[in-house]
Amino acid sequence: MARGRSRSLLTAVLLLVPLAAVAGWLAHGILYPAPAPAASSPAVPAPAPSPLSSVFPGLPAPGEDLSADRLHERVDGAEDYLRAQGCVRMLAWELAEPKGSLEILLFSSPEGAGRVLAHDAGPKRTAGPGDEASADSQGVLFRRGKAYVRLIADPDAGAEPARLLAEAARVDRAILDGMGRGL
Protein backbone atom coordinates (compact mmCIF):
# COMPACT_ATOMS: atom_id res chain seq x y z
CA MET A 1 0.00 0.00 0.00
CA ALA A 2 2.86 2.37 0.62
CA ARG A 3 3.99 1.73 -2.88
CA GLY A 4 0.61 2.73 -4.36
CA ARG A 5 0.53 5.86 -2.34
CA SER A 6 3.97 7.02 -3.51
CA ARG A 7 2.95 6.31 -7.09
CA SER A 8 -0.20 8.45 -6.78
CA LEU A 9 1.82 11.21 -5.05
CA LEU A 10 4.37 11.14 -7.92
CA THR A 11 1.56 11.30 -10.49
CA ALA A 12 -0.01 14.27 -8.70
CA VAL A 13 3.35 16.11 -8.61
CA LEU A 14 3.96 15.39 -12.31
CA LEU A 15 0.52 16.81 -13.15
CA LEU A 16 0.84 19.82 -10.85
CA VAL A 17 4.26 21.00 -12.14
CA PRO A 18 3.04 21.87 -15.69
CA LEU A 19 -0.16 23.28 -14.22
CA ALA A 20 1.87 25.51 -11.88
CA ALA A 21 4.05 26.63 -14.81
CA VAL A 22 0.98 27.62 -16.86
CA ALA A 23 -0.49 29.45 -13.86
CA GLY A 24 2.81 31.32 -13.35
CA TRP A 25 2.95 32.26 -17.00
CA LEU A 26 -0.63 33.61 -16.87
CA ALA A 27 0.08 35.53 -13.64
CA HIS A 28 3.16 37.09 -15.21
CA GLY A 29 1.11 38.16 -18.23
CA ILE A 30 -1.47 39.78 -15.97
CA LEU A 31 1.10 41.59 -13.84
CA TYR A 32 3.37 42.62 -16.76
CA PRO A 33 1.22 42.91 -19.90
CA ALA A 34 2.90 43.21 -23.28
CA PRO A 35 2.57 46.61 -24.95
CA ALA A 36 -0.47 46.88 -27.17
CA PRO A 37 0.31 46.56 -30.87
CA ALA A 38 0.06 49.72 -32.95
CA ALA A 39 -3.26 50.45 -34.56
CA SER A 40 -3.72 48.53 -37.76
CA SER A 41 -3.52 51.57 -39.99
CA PRO A 42 -1.34 51.70 -43.06
CA ALA A 43 2.26 52.57 -42.30
CA VAL A 44 2.88 56.29 -42.54
CA PRO A 45 6.42 57.21 -43.54
CA ALA A 46 8.35 59.54 -41.29
CA PRO A 47 7.96 63.15 -42.36
CA ALA A 48 10.63 64.41 -44.70
CA PRO A 49 12.88 67.24 -43.52
CA SER A 50 11.22 70.58 -43.98
CA PRO A 51 11.68 71.88 -47.51
CA LEU A 52 14.20 74.67 -47.78
CA SER A 53 11.68 76.88 -49.48
CA SER A 54 10.16 77.26 -46.02
CA VAL A 55 13.57 78.29 -44.62
CA PHE A 56 14.29 80.68 -47.49
CA PRO A 57 10.93 82.04 -48.64
CA GLY A 58 11.02 83.11 -52.25
CA LEU A 59 13.75 80.68 -53.29
CA PRO A 60 13.06 77.34 -54.95
CA ALA A 61 14.32 74.14 -53.37
CA PRO A 62 18.07 73.85 -53.98
CA GLY A 63 19.57 71.45 -56.45
CA GLU A 64 22.01 70.31 -53.77
CA ASP A 65 21.78 70.35 -49.98
CA LEU A 66 25.08 69.21 -48.51
CA SER A 67 25.98 68.71 -44.87
CA ALA A 68 29.51 69.52 -43.72
CA ASP A 69 30.68 65.94 -44.29
CA ARG A 70 29.51 66.06 -47.93
CA LEU A 71 31.09 69.40 -48.95
CA HIS A 72 33.67 67.59 -51.08
CA GLU A 73 30.88 66.79 -53.58
CA ARG A 74 30.83 70.44 -54.65
CA VAL A 75 33.93 72.26 -53.34
CA ASP A 76 36.73 70.02 -54.47
CA GLY A 77 39.75 70.71 -52.28
CA ALA A 78 38.22 73.42 -50.05
CA GLU A 79 36.10 71.24 -47.78
CA ASP A 80 38.65 71.06 -44.95
CA TYR A 81 39.09 74.84 -44.97
CA LEU A 82 35.33 75.44 -44.95
CA ARG A 83 34.75 72.98 -42.10
CA ALA A 84 37.60 74.57 -40.13
CA GLN A 85 35.82 77.93 -40.48
CA GLY A 86 32.59 76.40 -39.14
CA CYS A 87 30.67 75.59 -42.33
CA VAL A 88 27.80 73.28 -41.38
CA ARG A 89 25.74 73.19 -44.58
CA MET A 90 25.85 74.20 -48.23
CA LEU A 91 22.89 74.82 -50.50
CA ALA A 92 23.45 75.16 -54.23
CA TRP A 93 21.39 76.11 -57.26
CA GLU A 94 22.12 76.30 -60.97
CA LEU A 95 20.36 79.42 -62.21
CA ALA A 96 18.77 80.01 -65.59
CA GLU A 97 18.40 83.79 -65.19
CA PRO A 98 20.90 85.20 -64.69
CA LYS A 99 22.74 82.15 -65.94
CA GLY A 100 25.17 80.98 -63.31
CA SER A 101 25.40 79.34 -59.92
CA LEU A 102 24.24 80.28 -56.46
CA GLU A 103 25.71 78.82 -53.28
CA ILE A 104 24.64 79.61 -49.74
CA LEU A 105 27.05 78.33 -47.13
CA LEU A 106 25.77 78.30 -43.55
CA PHE A 107 28.29 78.69 -40.74
CA SER A 108 28.19 78.21 -36.99
CA SER A 109 29.11 81.89 -36.52
CA PRO A 110 29.11 85.15 -38.50
CA GLU A 111 32.88 85.36 -37.99
CA GLY A 112 33.41 82.09 -39.88
CA ALA A 113 31.29 83.33 -42.78
CA GLY A 114 33.23 86.62 -42.76
CA ARG A 115 36.61 84.86 -42.84
CA VAL A 116 35.56 82.84 -45.89
CA LEU A 117 34.32 86.00 -47.64
CA ALA A 118 37.66 87.69 -46.88
CA HIS A 119 39.51 84.62 -48.18
CA ASP A 120 37.52 84.57 -51.43
CA ALA A 121 37.26 88.32 -52.09
CA GLY A 122 40.29 89.77 -50.34
CA PRO A 123 40.01 93.00 -48.36
CA LYS A 124 38.09 94.88 -51.06
CA ARG A 125 34.42 95.53 -50.23
CA THR A 126 31.86 97.13 -52.51
CA ALA A 127 28.28 98.22 -52.23
CA GLY A 128 25.99 95.24 -52.24
CA PRO A 129 23.56 93.20 -50.22
CA GLY A 130 24.14 91.72 -46.80
CA ASP A 131 26.33 92.84 -43.92
CA GLU A 132 29.36 93.05 -46.22
CA ALA A 133 29.82 92.38 -49.92
CA SER A 134 32.21 92.27 -52.82
CA ALA A 135 30.80 92.51 -56.34
CA ASP A 136 32.23 92.68 -59.84
CA SER A 137 31.08 91.84 -63.36
CA GLN A 138 31.54 88.10 -62.76
CA GLY A 139 29.79 87.69 -59.45
CA VAL A 140 28.53 88.89 -56.11
CA LEU A 141 29.89 87.56 -52.83
CA PHE A 142 28.25 88.63 -49.60
CA ARG A 143 27.70 87.70 -45.98
CA ARG A 144 24.46 88.04 -44.06
CA GLY A 145 24.84 86.90 -40.46
CA LYS A 146 26.00 83.27 -40.50
CA ALA A 147 25.27 82.87 -44.23
CA TYR A 148 27.90 83.39 -46.91
CA VAL A 149 26.58 83.68 -50.47
CA ARG A 150 28.38 83.20 -53.78
CA LEU A 151 26.46 84.22 -56.89
CA ILE A 152 28.74 83.55 -59.85
CA ALA A 153 27.76 84.34 -63.44
CA ASP A 154 28.35 81.83 -66.19
CA PRO A 155 31.35 83.30 -68.07
CA ASP A 156 29.86 82.26 -71.42
CA ALA A 157 26.49 83.93 -70.75
CA GLY A 158 27.69 87.49 -70.13
CA ALA A 159 25.31 88.48 -67.34
CA GLU A 160 24.85 92.17 -66.64
CA PRO A 161 26.32 93.30 -63.30
CA ALA A 162 23.06 95.11 -62.44
CA ARG A 163 21.13 91.86 -62.97
CA LEU A 164 23.57 89.98 -60.71
CA LEU A 165 23.15 92.61 -57.97
CA ALA A 166 19.36 92.45 -58.28
CA GLU A 167 19.42 88.65 -57.92
CA ALA A 168 21.80 88.93 -54.96
CA ALA A 169 19.42 91.42 -53.31
CA ARG A 170 16.54 88.95 -53.80
CA VAL A 171 18.60 86.18 -52.18
CA ASP A 172 19.52 88.52 -49.32
CA ARG A 173 15.81 89.23 -48.67
CA ALA A 174 15.13 85.48 -48.60
CA ILE A 175 17.95 84.98 -46.09
CA LEU A 176 16.61 87.81 -43.93
CA ASP A 177 13.16 86.18 -44.00
CA GLY A 178 14.78 82.87 -43.09
CA MET A 179 16.63 84.49 -40.19
CA GLY A 180 13.30 85.70 -38.87
CA ARG A 181 12.20 82.05 -38.89
CA GLY A 182 15.17 80.84 -36.87
CA LEU A 183 17.83 80.18 -39.50
- Domain limits of the chain? 1-35, 57-180
Alpha-carbon distance of 148 to 130, in angstroms, equals 9
Tens-place pLDDT, residues 128-148: 899 999 998 899 999 999 999
Number of neighbours of residue 146 by Cβ within 10 angstroms = 21
Tens-place pLDDT, residues 23-53: 666 665 666 666 655 544 444 443 444 444 4
